[in-house]
Structure formats: structure tokens, C-alpha cells
Amino acid sequence: MSLFRLGAFVVASAFMVANIFAAAAEKDIVDTAVEAGSFKTLAAALKAADLIETLKGKGPFTVFAPTDEAFAKLPKGTVEELLKPENKAKLAGILTYHVVAGKVEAKDAVKLKSAKTVNGASFKISVSDAGVMVDKAKVVTTDIQCSNGVIHVIDAVIMPAAKK
């Protein structure tokens, strides 16, 4: 590939990514996640826990969003069990553990040791050469701007500690 073509490809790619994020900034957190296509399990879980309207609300919210691949890492049958109506409260507790009130962008999150979630518990934030971790999940994409907050994509589902 010539240097000119490589440069043109990089510029075109940058414009494409900028357009995706610009479009996301006009949509709320739920619509942005659904349109991304890699959060089908999260969307189903939000619906089962009756949290769709909340996350479509004014906010602002910061969502640490596990991908479909992250949900697939859970033990077999876990997602199906959590989606049952009788487990709605438990599911809501797990999902709200992924949400922080307010808009916390990556540049601010890396300065924190922990963050208090909407469910009342806090998760640990650590920064190393390997990247940023939220509990045991790695942050793989940051600062997806939405009309009512921001999404950071994580590679695992984080679980609140069992209440004693």
C-alpha cells in the first residue's frame, strides 16, 4: 500500500469513527447501545429489569457496559437464570452496579480509586500499564458520548459483593 493510500485510509477511518461518536452524542445511552449491535444481552437484561426508561432518562449517567462477549463469559445458564421474572431484583442490582450517577469521562475515571454505583455499592478502579480495570473487567473503549451521559465498554460483567 502506498504512503498516500495509507494516509487516505487513516483520514477516512478517523472521519468514520468521528461520525459514529457524533451520531451517538445525539442518542441516549440505551439507543446508542442497541444500535452498536454488540450489547444485545445488555439490552435484554435492561428490559427484563425494567431499567430501559431509567437509562433513557435525563441523567447524566456513566455506564460501564459489558458486551455480548462479556456476558458469554459468565457460567453457563447464568444469563438465562437472571432474565427470569423471579430474579428481577437481583438482575437490577447487578445492572445498576454498572452505572454511576453523573458523567465520568475516562480522563476523570483514571484519577479515582473507586466509584459509587447507582445500586449503592462501590467498585474498584485501577490503572496499570495493562490498562484500566473496573473490578475485574478491563475497560476496552471509553467516552462514547450520549445525549444523557457516557458509555465505557468493558470486557466482563462485574458483580456486586453479596450483602451480609
**Which residues form the domain of 54?**
3-154
| pTM for the structure as a whole | 0.83
Give the pLDDT score at 163.
Answer: 60
Q: How far apart are CA 50 and CA 45, in angstroms?
A: 8
In the predicted structure, residue 104 carries a pLDDT above the cut 60? yes
In the predicted structure, residue 153 carries a pLDDT above the cut 50? yes
Would 37 be classed as within a structural domain? Answer: yes
CATH number reported for the structural domain that contains residue 66 in this entry = 2.30.180.10
Would 34 be classed as within a structural domain? Answer: yes
Please tell me which residue, 65 or 15, carries the higher pLDDT value.
65
Phi first, then psi: give them for residue 63, nearest 5 degrees: -115, 125
Give the pLDDT score at 25.
Answer: 65
Place of cell 460483567: 157
Would 80 be classed as within a structural domain? Answer: yes
Would 7 be classed as within a structural domain? Answer: yes
Would 161 be classed as within a structural domain? Answer: no
Total domains in the chain come to: 1
In the predicted structure, residue 60 carries a pLDDT above the cut 90? yes
Would 159 be classed as within a structural domain? Answer: no
Q: How far apart are CA 147 and CA 144, in angstroms?
A: 10
In the predicted structure, residue 100 carries a pLDDT above the cut 90? yes
Pairing mode, strands 149-154 and 61-66: parallel
